[in-house]
Amino acid sequence: MVEKTIKQIAADVYDLPEGCIEENDKFSSLGDSLDHIEMVRRMEDEFNVQISIKKMEDLPTIGDAIKYVEARLK
C-alpha cells in the first residue's frame, strides 16, 4: 500500500505517468526543490508522519522514501 501510494503521489507531483515511477528513481532527477517540498507535504498528509526537509535529503530515491514511511507506520 505504501509503495503504490508514494508512487502515485510522485507521479502526480512530478507530472509523470504512474507506471514510470520506479523505486530506484532519484528525487533529484525527477524535479526541482519545490517539487520535493510538495512531495514531502503530500506524504506527510497521506501517512500522518513527519518528514523534515533535511531527512528527505537523506532519502535520495523513491525506494528510500517508501522504506522510511513503512518504518514509521510500524
Please state the domain extents for the chain. 2-73
Is 3 within 8 Å of 32 (Cβ atoms)? no
Catalytic machinery residues: 32
Query: What is the structure's pLDDT at 14?
Result: 97
Tell me, what's the pLDDT at 51?
Answer: 93
Q: For the purposes of burial, counting CB atoms within 10 Å of the CB of 50, is it exposed (0-12), middle (13-18) or buried (19 or more)? A: exposed
CA atoms within 13 A on the CB side of 65: 34
For residue range 21-69, list pLDDT tens digits in order. 999 999 999 999 999 999 999 999 999 999 998 888 899 999 999 999 9
pLDDT digits (tens, 9 = 90+) for 5-14: 999 999 999 9
Q: According to the model, what pLDDT value does residue 21 have?
A: 97
pLDDT of residue 54: 86
Put simply, whether the predicted model's pTM sits higher than 0.85 gets the answer: yes
Query: What homologous superfamily is domain 2-73 in, according to CATH?
Result: ACP-like (1.10.1200.10)
How far apart, in whole angstroms, are the C-alpha atoms of residue 56 and residue 39? 10
